[in-house]
Structure 1
């Protein structure tokens, strides 16, 4: 990896990560999903540092992440954003779990489970679909209402092209998704005390 270029984040397959964990050579695992998603299911030994918290406190985290770090999210998109934020702050040795928790679970790797909840992507599909359906039906009686559904469609198209989702960001702020918020000081203390 050249210091002058900005390569795409390297990834680590679930099979290889699981092998490293079994051999006692596990890298630091930072799960950047919402606390609600993390408490539903996560990789044993991972630390929950939601993406917005990571961005806000990346300077504080840097001094405690000097070895290999693997970033985890649901499918890899948020982890790639976290990689950009940490790499931009000067942290080397970053990798993204290829396929995220979806791939980890599909590989049959161990997880810690909590109460079941819908993941953020499913919530976005429900809200967007409901708004489009409702405005389409109401638009039959009230001219112009269908344009709200059109705006939602435009927003989803932009989300796909930019690999960001404003609706997802807004939904992540709901109490349902927040769950017990990780305290950055506690996370840093755990990082400091774990070899």
Structure 2
């Protein structure tokens, strides 16, 4: 299941406790980020132990456009995480929305 930038922004504004993973590279993260935990897609398999969420908890993944986070969503689902949501359009959509 996916999540829109509008829904994520609204939930952040409501101070919901969200678990968000940014799967972009470090230089992209340093350029612009929304405060998510940085685990680049290529490092995800060996860094699963850094995910501080239960396997049934909601995890939101994002990247620049939604492609890498889509792959991260598939990977995490294959590892037993049952509620992984991909941010549609990624940071490009986030910035295009003016957030």
Alignment partner for residue 46 of structure 2, among 53, 56, 68?
56
Structure 2 gap segments, 5+ residues each: none
- Within-5 A mapping of 1:167-186: none
Q: Determine which of 61, 66, 74 is the counterpart of 1:71.
A: 61
Larger Rg: 1
Q: Which has the higher helix share?
A: 1
Counting strand residues as a fraction of each chain, which structure ranks higher?
A: 2
TM-score using structure 1 length:
0.48
| Structure 2: distance between partners of 1:107 and 1:26 | 22
What is the CA RMSD across the aligned residues, in angstroms? Answer: 1.2
Report the count of equivalent residues: 97
| CA offsets 1:84-111 (integer angstroms, 9 cap, x no match) | 11111101111000000000111111xx
Gaps of 5+ in 1: 1-9, 110-195
Matched, 1:107 2:97: yes
TM-score by length of 2: 0.91
Structure 1 distance, partners of 2:63, 2:72, is 10
Higher RCO (C-alpha 8 Å, min separation 6): 2
CA distance in 1, matches of 2:17, 2:31: 22
